[in-house]
Amino acid sequence: MVSVRMTLSIALALTTLASAQDTRLTFEAASIKPTKPGSLGGGMRVMPGGQEFRAEGVSLRFMTAFMYWVPMRQVTGGPAWLDSDSWDIAAKADRPHDLEDLRGMFRNLLADEFKLKLRKDVKEGPVYALTVDKSGLKMKRNEEPWDFEISVKAGPGGITIGKRVSIQRLCFQLQQILQQDQRPVIDKTGLPGYYDFTLSFMPELPPGFDKANLPPALLDRPSIFDAVRQQLGLRLEAQKGPVEYYAVEHVEKPAGN
């Protein structure tokens, strides 16, 4: 005989599952168009107000990588147009949402409009582990409400300015800087929340580049590894760790494209 307690537990589990399925977040409206030939630049951002997410002049592989915080090389497979075709997307929600909700909506948009189906694989490989340095954290915790500004920007003189940046977003930024190493940056800090920082470093130069063409002030900057330790109070260490791959199992161009 099934107990009343067990019956209630099963009913609660089913209700929770149904509620999770009912709360799949999607945008209220979205426009998806191929980027016009000759358009300059591109990128992705949330617009002021927290209701609209835009992508301009970017490929589907880039959008997928950005939505899952991995380098593009870790989004594998798929047809050639994932790289060759660029898209302009303007997606609007019913009301303002926080960043993680909007990112979830955009992932759902890719699944719904591009019929994007991914398979996640985790393999051990070379990584940079981001940890807190023994000298202590130097970034400032930001507990202010999100103001819908871009979290990581280029500042004067080529410095990087972070405002209300999650550690996951910081890892993505660092692996973009270190992409020639082809090691993803994984979070081993255990730090919650959001942080402000300024990062000034000497960029990695291509082989044969004449440093005489650089301003003297730039030459005096530390390497990215030293800058992360000295300015952020963090450490990048080369080691083995889990590497996430997203294999494209199915994708289609949106209807009418």
User: How many angstroms separate the CA atoms of 32 and 90, rounded?
Assistant: 7
Give the pLDDT band of residue 155 (cuts 50, 70, 90).
Answer: confident
Q: What does the pLDDT average to over 55-75?
A: 95
Asked which of 1-10, 32-41, 90-99, 112-121 is least confident by mean pLDDT, the reply is 1-10
The first and second tokens of residue 215, run together, are 């301003």
Give the pLDDT band of residue 181 (cuts 50, 70, 90).
Answer: confident
CB 86 within 8 A of CB 58: yes
Residue 215, pLDDT score: 73
| Nearest alpha carbon to residue 250 among 147, 112, 141 | 112
Q: pLDDT (tens digit, 9 = 90+) per residue, 204-250? A: 777 777 777 777 777 788 999 999 999 999 999 999 999 999 999 99
First to last CA, the chain: 58
In the chain, the DSSP E strands lie at 29-34, 43-46, 52-59, 75-76, 86-92, 117-132, 140-141, 152-154, 160-166, 185-187, 194-199, 234-250
Give the pLDDT band of residue 257 (cuts 50, 70, 90).
Answer: low
Entry pTM? 0.79
Reply yes or no on whether the pLDDT at 176 is more than 80: yes
Give the pLDDT band of residue 199 (cuts 50, 70, 90).
Answer: very high
The first and second tokens of residue 151, run together, are 């979290």
